[in-house]
């Protein structure tokens, strides 16, 4: 009834206290499959027979990190050791047999049959009259029930899980060492593709209502358009029917830029009339311009200007024709750090000035005044000269009125002292 070769080393029980057994013999293991979880392809040994009675080793930590070839070799080695072995599930209570080990064969004779089984579980108890309880459970064919604890074991090693049901067809590949997972899932109303590495993932979802793409980096390359992973879009042409929102705008040649609410156009030509409340530009060229108020920040070159009022920090020109050309802001409320000019210093500067006549380069008329370098040679702490943007020296002629007034006052002081001295004699 049983293969004799499989029980030559079995322990014969001549005496036992009780024995219960099943009325069937378990089918021999035909092949070994090693996998991480249910649905995982894993690795399978070659079949011993055609009965397809597979023993599944699932979630064993010793298989962590093994590739498919290594797991197949392990499965084949285990199959060679346990494949084809049959036994009758039974529970035997007998005298103590401390020499027995788990995996040893046991043979017991009952009144109507011979029980051949293995020691799969044993419990030995007692002190003087010790006894053994040997159990070997099993179904007629191999079954596999996966619990929640088994599902947790999918975190170990590399897995390839394939699910095929009427509701879903999916493939999931995972690698714990690289912390990566890739999944393709097909449902009746959608197709989903997802690739993850740690907490970073990218996902494509195709449904009847549209296509959804999610990811921290998205790029494509085609004949007429492309987009890089950092979000740079390139296209040969395009049209927008709605609003376009951007931090800045710039043409490929850089002649038109829009940034921070400021539009810059280089080399713009406007034919016709342009009406606007404000124009800001680097260079404005026009044959005729009627401007209520002109504000220039920086350097400006104007040929002829006719205006009611002109305000500026520095104005450089050849001639000024104005009914109020000599007027300056002089209200005390507009000034601070007011200090009286030393009269003796004013007299020294005035006596040191060298009045000259000259012709400005590029002009054709003789003018008179002072040479700025001569004024600078006086080494006065008073602001007698300045330096323009182009590096040339300039003189604030209008301010020299204060110097001359101080010099006159100094001479007057000396005259008063001289008169007092004469009167005293």
**Structure confidence at residue 79 (pLDDT):** 86
> Per mean pLDDT, which range of 195-199, 249-253, 318-322, 414-418 is the poorest?
318-322
Listed in sequence order, the residues at least 6 apart from 103 whose beta carbon sits closer than 8 Å to its beta carbon are 118, 119, 120
Q: What pLDDT does 324 receive? A: 58
Rounded Cα gap, residues 8 and 328, in angstroms: 127
Tell which wins on pLDDT, 309 or 246: 246
Residue 185 scores a pLDDT above 80:
yes
pLDDT of residue 129: 82
Q: How many whole angstroms from its chain centre is CA 38?
A: 37
Distances (CA, A) of 51 to 28, 142, 314: 9, 11, 104
Looking at residue 379, its pLDDT comes to 93
Residue 3: pLDDT over 50: no
pLDDT digits 0-9 by tens, 281-307: 666 666 666 676 667 666 666 666 666
Instruction: Pick left, alpha or beta for residue 145 (phi over 0 → left; psi -120 to 50 → alpha; otherwise beta).
Output: beta
**Cα gap 274→9, rounded to integer Å:** 110
Mean residue pLDDT of the chain comes to 80
Q: What is the pLDDT of residue 366?
A: 93
Residue 246 pLDDT > 60, yes or no?
Answer: yes
Q: Nearest Cα to 183, choosing from 208, 210, 154, 209?
A: 154
Q: Residue 50: what pLDDT?
A: 61
The answer to whether 86 and 27 have CB atoms below 8 angstroms apart is yes
Q: Predicted confidence band at 4 (pLDDT cuts at 50, 70, 90)?
A: very low
Q: Taking residues 120-146, what's their average pLDDT?
A: 80
Section 97-116 average pLDDT: 85
Cα 118 to Cα 6: distance, rounded to the nearest angstrom? 11
Would you place residue 314 in the very low, low, confident or very high pLDDT band (cuts 50, 70, 90)? low
pLDDT above 50 (res 208) = yes
Per-residue model confidence (pLDDT) at position 215 = 82
Angstrom distance (rounded) from CA 97 to CA 295: 111
* From 63-67, 139-143, 334-338, 378-382, the region with the lowest mean pLDDT: 139-143
What pLDDT digit, counting tens, does each position of 75-90 carry? 889 888 888 888 889 9
Nearest to 159, CA basis, from 123, 137, 183, 188: 183
**In 206-355, alpha helices (H):** 343-352
| pLDDT given for residue 12 in this prediction | 83
**pLDDT of the residue at 307:** 67
Which range, 212-226, 250-264, 301-315, has the best average confidence (pLDDT)? 212-226
- Per-residue pLDDT, averaged over 232-251, amounts to 81
Mapped onto helix, strand or coil, the DSSP state of residue 169 is strand
Q: Residue 352 has what pLDDT?
A: 93
Query: Given a cut of 60, is residue 257 above it in pLDDT?
Result: yes
Of 151-155, 349-353, 373-377, the least confident:
151-155
Task: Give me 139's structure tokens.
Answer: 């179904």
What integer pLDDT is reported at residue 382 of this predicted model? 93
Please give the structure tokens belonging to residue 357. 């006549």
Report pLDDT for 109.
Answer: 83
The per-residue pLDDT for 145 is 46
- The per-residue pLDDT for range 6-52, each reduced to its tens digit, is 466 778 887 888 888 888 888 888 888 888 777 666 788 887 766 66
The string of DSSP codes covering 20-63 is EE-SS-PPPB-EEEEESSTTB--EEPPPSSSS--EEEEES-GGG
Q: What is the pLDDT of residue 218?
A: 79
């Amino acid at each position: 009834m049983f293969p004799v070769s499989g029980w030559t080393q079995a322990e014969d029980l001549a005496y036992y206290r009780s024995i219960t057994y099943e009325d069937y013999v378990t089918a021999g293991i035909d092949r070994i499959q090693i996998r991480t979880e249910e649905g995982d392809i894993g690795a399978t040994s070659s079949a011993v027979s055609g009965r397809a009675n597979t023993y599944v080793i699932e979630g064993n930590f010793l298989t962590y990190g093994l590739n498919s070839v290594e797991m197949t070799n392990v499965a084949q080695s285990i199959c060679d050791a346990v494949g084809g072995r049959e036994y009758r599930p039974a529970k035997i209570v007998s005298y103590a047999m401390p020499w027995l080990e788990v995996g040893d064969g046991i043979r017991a004779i009952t009144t109507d049959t011979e029980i051949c089984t293995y020691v799969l579980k044993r419990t030995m108890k007692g002190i003087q009259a010790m006894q053994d309880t040997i159990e070997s459970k099993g179904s007629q064919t191999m079954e596999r029930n996966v619990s929640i604890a088994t599902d947790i074991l999918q975190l170990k090693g590399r897995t390839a899980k394939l699910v095929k049901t009427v509701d879903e067809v999916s493939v999931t590949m995972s690698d714990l060492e690289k912390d990566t997972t890739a999944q393709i899932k097909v449902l009746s109303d959608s197709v989903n593709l997802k690739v993850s590495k740690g907490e970073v993932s990218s996902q494509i979802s195709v449904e009847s209502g549209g296509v959804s793409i999610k990811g921290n980096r998205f790029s494509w390359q085609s004949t007429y358009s492309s987009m890089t992973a950092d979000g740079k879009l390139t296209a040969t042409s395009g049209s927008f029917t709605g609003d376009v929102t951007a931090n800045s705008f710039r043409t490929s040649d850089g002649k038109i830029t829009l940034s921070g609410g400021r539009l810059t156009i280089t080399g713009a030509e406007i034919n016709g009339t342009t009406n606007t409340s404000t124009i800001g530009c680097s260079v404005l060229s026009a044959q005729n311009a009627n401007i209520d108020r002109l504000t220039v920040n920086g350097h400006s070159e104007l040929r002829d200007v006719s205006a009611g009022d002109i305000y500026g920090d520095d104005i450089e020109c050849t001639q000024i024709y104005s009914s109020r050309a000599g007027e300056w802001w002089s209200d005390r409320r507009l000034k601070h750090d007011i200090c009286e000019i030393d009269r003796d210093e004013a007299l020294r500067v005035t006596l040191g000035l060298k009045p000259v006549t000259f012709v400005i380069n590029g002009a054709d008329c003789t003018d008179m005044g002072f040479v700025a370098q001569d004024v600078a040679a006086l080494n006065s702490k008073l602001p007698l000269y300045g330096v323009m943007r182009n590096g040339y020296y300039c003189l604030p002629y209008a301010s020299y009125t204060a110097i001359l007034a101080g010099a006159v006052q100094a001479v007057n002081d000396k005259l008063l002292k001289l008169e007092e001295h004469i009167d005293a004699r």
